[in-house]
Structure 1
Amino acid sequence: MRVRICFLAIVILCSFSFILVRSLNEEGRVLLEFKALLNDSNGYLASWNQLDSNPCNWTGIACTRLRTVTSVDLNGMNLSGTLSPLICKLHGLRKLNVSTNFISGPIPRDLSLCRSLEVLDLCTNRFHGVIPIQLTMIITLKKLYLCENYLFGSIPRQIGSLSSLQELVIYSNNLTGLIPPSTGKLRQLRIIRAGRNAFSGVIPPEISGCESLKVLGLAENLLEGSLPKQLEKLQNLTDLILWQNRLSGEIPPSVGNITRLEVLALHENYFTGSIPREIGKLTKMKRLYLYTNQLTGEIPREIGNLTDAAEIDFSENQLTGFIPKEFGQILNLKLLHLFENILLGPIPRELGELTLLEKLDLSINRLNGTIPRELQFLTYLVDLQLFDNQLEGTIPPLIGFYSNFSVLDMSANSLSGPIPAHFCRFQTLILLSVGSNKLSGNIPRDLKTCKSLTKLMLGDNWLTGSLPAELFNLQNLTALELHQNWLSGYISADLGKLKNLERLRLANNNFTGEIPPEIGNLTKIVGLNISSNQLTGHIPKELGSCVTIQRLDLSGNRFSGYIPQDLVPDTAVFQRMDSSNFAGNHRLCNSQRSHCQPLVPHSDSKLSWLVNGSQRQKILTITCMVIGSVFLITFLAICWAIKRREPAFVALEDQTKPDVMDSYYFPKKGFTYQGLVDATRNFSEDVLLGRGACGTVYKAEMSDGEVIAVKKLNSRGEGASSDNSFRAEISTLGKIRHRNIVKLYGFCYHQNSNLLLYEYMSKGSLGEQLQRGEKNCLLDWNARYRIALGAAEGLCYLHHDCRPQIVHRDIKSNNILLDELFQAHVGDFGLAKLIDLSYSKSMSAVAGSYGYIAPEYAYTMKVTEKCDIYSFGVVLLELITGKPPVQPLEQGGDLVNWVRRSIRNMVPTIEMFDARLDTNDKRTIHEMSLVLKIALFCTSNSPASRPTMREVVAMITEARGSSSLSTSSITSETPLEEANSSKEIDFVASP
């Protein structure tokens, strides 16, 4: 018995000793307290076991040989909750990384107690509040990463106390105020990345004290003033990134003294003057971006010294003179963009020396001469855009034989000769546009190899012959434009093979025969124009299958027979048609008449100019006489009318200079130009509401107390009649009346100033509201839903109820304005165009804003309503996630890819939603999930898969009105599956 008792005592004693040995040490207990405030939904921290003696083998923990914790790295573990300052009880902690999680709340002030901390990484979370001043007390800190959160306020002016700091990364927050001059005390600082905030003021000259600085990134802020000359002291600087600010003045020649520069990004500012010759000193330059400024003068020949440069973009300025042949010395060049300037002369043959060149865009200039044959030997060239110039001669015959083209646009020149046969040797061409030239001969049969071609634009040339059978094997075509040529023969039944076709233009040719019934296979067709030919027979009933059509023109042919009522589908486009769509077909009858009588052309009907042989000269002579008479009579009538009648918009004289009569037009509100000057305090910064690509907006309180918004368009020294953005806005907004469209009250042109008067929106833009921190954001889900629906209805009105159709071209959250009741109003038509679907034109200048641009625009350079729908889908994603449209490259580069990646990774939907929203309400979660589906539907990679805005309005309405979306609204191919529970939703990847 005693033996058993002794044995039992020994066992108990040994067990107790074992427990003592296995007891978790102090640092382990600190980490468990730290973990207690975190929600580890994926179980990444399951190895944090209190039965261990120390935490050194735990996930994310690193220790010294003496088992002292030095690093806590919890990056990308899907953690939520708050950050506990108890972590600072780890006295040897040198690195704390909780980036890419969903941790919220303010940054704890007591993190200043981490006296040994060298790396603090809180990026890509949901922290809000200000940057605690106490962080500047961690004098050991070398790397401070606070990017992609909801922080507001300013950078602590004591930032200069962090004498050991090497990297400061705070981009993508809501930070404001000035860049502290004390930043210049950080002698060891190598990287500043503070872009995508709202910093204002000037770049402090004191920053030149950061003698170790390599990267200075302050893009996408509100910085003003000129570039400090003192920047030349930063002799270690490799990256100077200041794009999309309000910087102005000339680019100082001293920038050439920063000889280690590899990236200079000054684009999208207001720089004036010429490009300094000293830029040629930057011999290590790899990427030089000066586009979208107001630069003038010639491109300096010293540009040829930048022999290491891979990308140079000077587009969208006012540069003049010749293209320097010295570009040919930059043998590493892969991208050269000089489009939309005023460049003259020939294209230098020396560009053919750039054997690595991939993208060359010289469009929208005044270049003349021939296309250098040397360009046809550039084997890496994939994107060549020369459109809208004055180029002559033939297209080099081997163009495309050596080059693997994706985009080739030479339209709107004076090119002649045949179309080369080798465009598609590598079968990668997506866009081919050589329209509006003087090309002759037949359409080459070799186009049969263009299997990937989506846009073929050959219209407005001198092409002859029939349509080659090989053309109808290009089954990826979405646009085929062959109008205004001398093409003849029959329209083949093989046309029906082009089932992806959205736009077909065969007008003004000599086609004969009947329209093949296979045309009914074009179920995606949006615009169809076969007017002004010699087509005969009946209009095929199969045309009624083209229910997506929005523009149809069959006029100027020889069709006969009835248009049976039962063959006209019950769709809007057919119901809106009048006789002008069929005019000139003298044997065609309206079935609604009791006796078959020829259709009488509408007053605005289009008449054919194509007639047979001997009559053509006579008709042309008579036509010229008639047109001349009409112009003379019209001119005299206008002059008489101006003197006699009172216009709907009352002309207003400048009361300060009565002898000056510019264009002043307003509704009858009694506004005067001087009144606008007084109301805006002479366009003072104090009443500034915002700046955009087209102009600056001011708040104006008129003498009668009415508050309006005055937009002063950026002027290029041209009159109102020649300012494209001015005319675009006037021709659209002036005629629009809709509750979800910003009203245009009036406009004027005065001494090179173009002014637009808008309805004032007291709550600013949706983008501004979404950028606010958690405490200041006024948008709950109900408000966001109403904004989504209102903006959709406004855009739907532009797409479906305006004639001609209006495509906005720049839908983004900053262009959705909010009134006092947070009702949405679509605004800023600075880039708006009146789009005639059958007359859309290629444009090289980017239409839209980064993060919102539809993927197909990159290779088509054409804007359709489907581009608007993609952009609107991005806005919906902003409303749901609270994230900006542009994301870091490691997260996909943009919001759409981030959402898709999150879905692929099976991230719970609730974690994707904006943390400022109430995610405890099941109905809210369900509605947001449905709107998320709609957003991904809108942002489909395929334009044809995107809904119309009418469908979007219906789906958003239905998201709130029913428990789930019907199959008629979103098909089974929708990117998202239905919700399984209120807290977690399963996803499948979008197509």
Structure 2
Amino acid sequence: MTPLLLLRLLCLLPLATAAAAAATLPADFAALIAAKTSLSDPTSALAAWDPHLSPSPCRWPHLLCSVPDAPAAVASLLLSNLSLAGDFPSPLCSLRSLSELDLSYNSLTGPLPPCLAALPSLRRLDLSGNAFSGEVPAAYGAGFPSLATLGLAGNELSGAFLGHLLNVTTLEELLLAYNPFAPSSLTPASFSALPRLRVLWLAGCGLVGEIPASVGSLKSLVNLDLSTNNLTGEIPATVARLENAVQIELYSNHLTGRVPDGLGELKRLRFFDASMNRLTGEIPADLLLAPRLESLHIYQNELSGRVPATLAQAAALADLRLFSNRLTGELPPEFGKNCPLEFLDLSDNRISGRIPAALCSAGKLEQVLILNNELVGPIPAELGQCRTLTRVRLPNNQLSGAVPPDMWGLPHLYLLELSGNRLSGTVGPAIAMATNLSQLLISDNRFTGSLPEQIGSLPALFELSAANNMFSGPLPASLAGASTLGRLDLRNNSLSGELPQGVRRWQKLTQLDLADNHLTGAIPSELGELPVLNSLDLSSNELTGDVPVQLEDLKLSLFNLSNNRLAGALPPLFAGSMYRDSFVGNPALCRGPCPPSSSQSRASRRGLVGSVTSILAVAGVVLLLGVAWFCYTYRSQHNHGRSTAELSNGGGGSRPRWALTSFHKIEFDEEDILGCLDEDNVVGIAGEDAITVAVKKLWGGAGGKGKAISAAAAKDSFDAEVATLGRIRHKNIVRLWCCFRSGDDCRLLVYEFMPNGSLGDLLHGGGKGVLDWPARHRIMAGAAEGLAYLHHDCVPPIVHRDVKSNNILLDADLGAKVADFGVARVITGDGPSAVSAIAGSCGYIAPEYSYTLRVTEKSDVYSFGVVMLELVTGKRPVAPELGDKDLVRWVHGSIERGGVDSVLDPRLAGKSRDDMVRALHIALLCTSSLPINRPSMRAVVKLLAEAAPPPPSPPPPAKVAGQKPPDV
């Protein structure tokens, strides 16, 4: 026997042995081996199904035998969440003793197998969270003699609603949610044959019509979920007969009429949600008397009347959300005394009276949101002592008096919003204890006194907005050390003294507004070192001295130093007409060399005759010195960050000469860049400190007609990008360090390097894990701020014209920055700008843009809405799985058929569901077919801020209960 033949035989021996071993297995286990071979098993979850590795099949993982450790039949097969793929493994239909089959949350496809209905012992079948398609077999309605649980939720099943499944009289759990069934109604007889049914989950199933009164016959029902459908009519009064109900979910339908009476008699009811409907009338008083009611959501309806006085008697209520209704009257003063309240949102109503002092009596209250109401009186002292609070929003009421001293220092509070009230008093020193405070928003009140020195030491402070108050005294010196500060707005107070020194630590500051105060002294030159500052308003103060030349380094969309006492010559950049309004009311400022004063003129005339000879004698020397100084100044300015200089690569005349234009102070030159470039690299390492940069290379050149067009297009793209990015600076706009030109043949753009690449690659590229919802929201909020800056803060406004996920780059912390301005356009005051060709990418282009060729800011808003839909759904804007539709049309069609939950990325739609739905609504606004219906990007930024998920719970020692999602 040759060695080669021997080797082949040795290789075949294990296969033959395995086949022989499988042939000797009992029938059920042979069927398992056959099922294993038909499935894709990327994680090797079923590798142990091998008679050689484990000769006792009943000890194989993921299964249970009817008689352990004996050659018995398989009773349970538990294969949930194992990344299995392929069609349903038909050998499983031969497991006649199988009582439980769980294949949920895998990647199985194809039709459902009818043969499962014939398994005589099957009690639990869960195929949820896969990609099964087609109609549910008719056999499922006539078979399953023992089935108690049927789980088909979260697939791609179609056809009419499964009325025949309601004939399976043994059912206790029917889970059909989030499938794209055809629009279907529930008939009055739908529930008559299901006496044992405990869970009915029909969310997002395309249901239309009314909820039949027969639902009340389901006496065993524990969980009723008909949410996110298109149901109409009233909530039937028979719902109050569901004596075992724990959870009733009816949100996101088109229900009308009143909330029925009698729900307070449901002794086990814990969760009731009828939000996002069109319900009217008053809230039934008895509803709040349900003894175990923990969560009551009826927000975004048309409810009216007073909040029931029975609210004070709610014994178990922890989460109450009634925002966006028409409720009036006062809250019961005892509200909170008898219940473990954690989350309260009554915003956007007309509630009056005082804030109940007992809200935090149980010591569990985390979030209080009663913005945009008619509350009066002081904030209760008891609320100021509620140490579990993380989020307080009470703006736009009529609150008065002093803020409780302890409230300033609540240790877990990250948002305190009290703007638009009549509050007075001072900000107390207890604020030093607010170590988690990120946003302090107290504008438009009547606060007095000095800002406490401790406010600058808060480790997390990002926004301090205290405009339109009566604060006085100097700015706290500690404020200069607030390195986390992003926005500082103290406009229209009575602040005095000088601006603090050391403000170069404000590296994250984007907005500084100190206008309309009594500030004195010089403008700190350090302000020119702030890298992302884009709004600077120091107008209407008493500032003196000159305008620091360092301010020329800022890229400002709003710049106002008017009505001060500044003097001297303006820096050259500010002497042009573009900045004329920025310096009005400073009569001692000069645009160009300042003329001598009157005393200087008289002295000059007296010494004129005696000095003629001396002047003539030294004129030549002075002229030479002047020319030398001019050349030195010219070179210094041209190498400092704004001008252009000719640079040579050296080493011979054959190498090209590069023209460098820099837009920031850089520590590298063309050799650092060009020395790292080759055809395979996309980044270069620049400078002695190994700065990583990204380089875009645009080639032109002679050639045929096509090449000539390409060269012209490349030059236009290069010029557009340079013109746009060279004059703007924002933390959410990618930074263009500099550019190089070498004749007409080659151009290089040098950007900051973004280590996490593009959003498109990270979201759709695979292999990098799943972005969680807080990260996705942070990305969309950052990109929105960048676009809002272009639309609203640049003069004139800039339209990007190619907003897409691949043009949103991510830094090391997943901070988003808008990039690629090659087709950007400036919008003049003459209205929409006409273009000769469509710019943008397939799936992102606004519908009106494609046929009008008129570009506006609303075109960008539409494209950004598509990016938001990518983040919410996890899907590409154009993909085979969407059929002949783009993402926008697919989302609209899916919501119409299956409700909003049918489009949420299933990898995230658990605990983040409510936050994702809020973002989805914003995205749908942005992608409205009519531009007039789309919000501005500034409004989008606000909407996203209000829909932000709360930060993680603070660490011990004080344990905080689980976070709740935000209000809007």
The TM-score normalised by the length of structure 2 is 0.61
Indicate the residue corresponding to 2:904 in structure 1: 885
**Counterpart contact for 2:22–2:30, Cα < 8 Å:** no
Deviation at residue 577 of structure 1 after TM alignment: 4.4
SS of the residue 2:305 aligns to? coil
Q: 1:21 to 1:480 in 2, by over 3 A?
A: closer
> What letter corresponds to residue 62 of structure 2 in structure 1?
G
Please point out which of 47, 50, 63 is paired with 2:65. Answer: 63
Q: What is the rounded CA distance, in whole Å, between the counterparts of 2:306 and 2:399 in structure 1? A: 20
Structure 1 position 103 matched with structure 2 position 101 = no
**Counterpart contact for 1:29–1:50, Cα < 8 Å:** no
Q: Give per-residue Cα distances to partners, 1:935-968, cap 9 Å, x unaligned.
A: xxx99xx99xx9xxxxxxxxxxxxxxxxxxxxxx
Q: What is the rounded CA distance, in whole Å, between the counterparts of 1:559 and 1:400 in structure 2? A: 37
Deviation at residue 889 of structure 1 after TM alignment: 6.6
SS of the residue 2:279 aligns to? strand
Taking the TM superposition and a 5 Å limit, the aligned residue runs for 1:786-935 are 800-801=790-791, 824-825=845-846, 871=868, 874=871, 877-879=874-876, 884-885=903-904, 887=906, 893=912
Indicate the residue corresponding to 1:328 in structure 2: 336
Taking the TM superposition and a 5 Å limit, the aligned residue runs for 1:100-139 are 100-136=105-141, 137-139=143-145
Taking the TM superposition and a 5 Å limit, the aligned residue runs for 1:330-409 are 330-351=338-359, 353-401=361-409, 404-409=412-417
Q: What is the rounded CA distance, in whole Å, between the counterparts of 2:204 and 2:916 in structure 1? A: 19
**Counterpart contact for 1:301–1:326, Cα < 8 Å:** no
Structure 1 position 482 matched with structure 2 position 478 = no
Q: 1:869 to 1:507 in 2, by over 3 A?
A: farther
Q: Bigger relative contact order, structure 1 or 2, given CA contacts below 8 A and separation 6+? A: 2
**Counterpart contact for 2:873–2:903, Cα < 8 Å:** no
**Counterpart contact for 1:884–1:895, Cα < 8 Å:** no
Deviation at residue 83 of structure 1 after TM alignment: 0.5
> What letter corresponds to residue 223 of structure 1 in structure 2?
L
Q: 1:794 to 1:584 in 2, by over 3 A?
A: same
Deviation at residue 581 of structure 1 after TM alignment: 3.1
Deviation at residue 806 of structure 1 after TM alignment: 11
Indicate the residue corresponding to 1:557 in structure 2: 564
Q: 1:579 to 1:77 in 2, by over 3 A?
A: same
Q: Which runs of 5+ in 1 are unaligned?
A: 1-14, 569-574, 597-791, 814-818, 828-835, 837-863, 899-937, 947-991
Taking the TM superposition and a 5 Å limit, the aligned residue runs for 1:387-786 are 387-401=395-409, 404-547=412-555, 549-565=556-572, 577-590=578-591
**Counterpart contact for 2:457–2:481, Cα < 8 Å:** no
Q: 1:545 to 1:116 in 2, by over 3 A?
A: farther
Indicate the residue corresponding to 2:83 in structure 1: 78
Indicate the residue corresponding to 2:934 in structure 1: none
Please point out which of 139, 142, 148 is paired with 2:148. Answer: 142
Q: What is the rounded CA distance, in whole Å, between the counterparts of 2:64 and 2:480 in structure 1? A: 65
SS of the residue 2:876 aligns to? helix
> What letter corresponds to residue 27 of structure 2 in structure 1?
E
Deviation at residue 139 of structure 1 after TM alignment: 2.8
**Counterpart contact for 1:216–1:239, Cα < 8 Å:** yes
> What letter corresponds to residue 139 of structure 1 in structure 2?
P
The aligned length equals: 644
Counting aligned pairs with the same residue, the percent is 28
Q: What is the rounded CA distance, in whole Å, between the counterparts of 2:271 and 2:915 in structure 1? A: 27
Please point out which of 147, 152, 174 is paired with 1:168. Answer: 174
Of the structure 1 ranges 454-463 and 37-46, higher mean CA displacement relative to structure 2 is found in 37-46
> What letter corresponds to residue 127 of structure 2 in structure 1?
L
Larger Rg: 2
Q: What is the rounded CA distance, in whole Å, between the counterparts of 2:905 and 2:20 in structure 1? A: 53
SS of the residue 2:433 aligns to? coil
Q: Give per-residue Cα distances to partners, 1:270-321, cap 9 Å, x unaligned.
A: 1111111121331210111111111110011011221111111111111111
Indicate the residue corresponding to 1:756 in structure 2: none
Q: What is the rounded CA distance, in whole Å, between the counterparts of 2:914 and 2:91 in structure 1? A: 34
Q: Give per-residue Cα distances to partners, 1:889-936, cap 9 Å, x unaligned.
A: 7866369999xxxxxxxxxxxxxxxxxxxxxxxxxxxxxxxxxxxxxx
> What letter corresponds to residue 296 of structure 1 in structure 2?
S
**Counterpart contact for 2:547–2:571, Cα < 8 Å:** no
SS of the residue 1:81 aligns to? strand
Deviation at residue 481 of structure 1 after TM alignment: 1.2
> What letter corresponds to residue 443 of structure 1 in structure 2?
L
Of the structure 1 ranges 358-367 and 175-184, higher mean CA displacement relative to structure 2 is found in 175-184
Indicate the residue corresponding to 2:602 in structure 1: none
**Counterpart contact for 2:790–2:799, Cα < 8 Å:** no
Structure 1 position 43 matched with structure 2 position 76 = no
Please point out which of 89, 94, 103 is paired with 1:89. Answer: 94
Q: What is the rounded CA distance, in whole Å, between the counterparts of 2:36 and 2:377 in structure 1? A: 71
Q: 1:486 to 1:184 in 2, by over 3 A?
A: farther
Q: What is the rounded CA distance, in whole Å, between the counterparts of 1:189 and 1:207 in structure 2? A: 11
Q: What is the rounded CA distance, in whole Å, between the counterparts of 2:326 and 2:105 in structure 1? A: 43
Q: Give per-residue Cα distances to partners, 1:213-237, cap 9 Å, x unaligned.
A: 1111122221111101111111000
Deviation at residue 332 of structure 1 after TM alignment: 0.9
> What letter corresponds to residue 46 of structure 2 in structure 1?
L
Structure 1 position 28 matched with structure 2 position 29 = yes
Deviation at residue 364 of structure 1 after TM alignment: 0.9
Please point out which of 270, 273, 283 is paired with 1:265. Answer: 273
Q: 1:504 to 1:402 in 2, by over 3 A?
A: closer
**Counterpart contact for 1:55–1:61, Cα < 8 Å:** no
Taking the TM superposition and a 5 Å limit, the aligned residue runs for 1:287-326 are 287-326=295-334
The TM-score normalised by the length of structure 1 is 0.59
Q: What is the rounded CA distance, in whole Å, between the counterparts of 2:873 and 2:134 in structure 1? A: 25
Please point out which of 158, 170, 179 is paired with 1:152. Answer: 158
> What letter corresponds to residue 825 of structure 1 in structure 2?
A
Q: 1:798 to 1:235 in 2, by over 3 A?
A: same
**Counterpart contact for 1:338–1:362, Cα < 8 Å:** yes
**Counterpart contact for 1:279–1:303, Cα < 8 Å:** no
Deviation at residue 872 of structure 1 after TM alignment: 6.1
Q: What is the rounded CA distance, in whole Å, between the counterparts of 1:225 and 1:897 in structure 2? A: 27
Structure 1 position 205 matched with structure 2 position 226 = no
Q: Which runs of 5+ in 2 are unaligned?
A: 1-15, 597-781, 806-839, 849-856, 882-901, 918-939, 949-968
Q: Give per-residue Cα distances to partners, 1:7-35, cap 9 Å, x unaligned.
A: xxxxxxxx99x968981222222223322
Q: What is the rounded CA distance, in whole Å, between the counterparts of 1:403 and 1:432 in structure 2? A: 14
Q: 1:867 to 1:587 in 2, by over 3 A?
A: farther
**Counterpart contact for 1:887–1:894, Cα < 8 Å:** no
Q: 1:57 to 1:263 in 2, by over 3 A?
A: same
SS of the residue 2:329 aligns to? coil
> What letter corresponds to residue 153 of structure 1 in structure 2?
G
> What letter corresponds to residue 89 of structure 1 in structure 2?
S
SS of the residue 2:335 aligns to? helix
**Counterpart contact for 1:21–1:53, Cα < 8 Å:** no
Deviation at residue 154 of structure 1 after TM alignment: 3.2
Indicate the residue corresponding to 2:615 in structure 1: none
Q: 1:421 to 1:130 in 2, by over 3 A?
A: farther
Q: What is the rounded CA distance, in whole Å, between the counterparts of 1:807 and 1:447 in structure 2? A: 39
Q: What is the rounded CA distance, in whole Å, between the counterparts of 2:368 and 2:500 in structure 1? A: 37
Q: Give per-residue Cα distances to partners, 1:104-151, cap 9 Å, x unaligned.
A: 112222322223211111122222222223222213111111222222
SS of the residue 2:214 aligns to? helix
Deviation at residue 521 of structure 1 after TM alignment: 2.8
Q: What is the rounded CA distance, in whole Å, between the counterparts of 1:214 and 1:390 in structure 2? A: 43
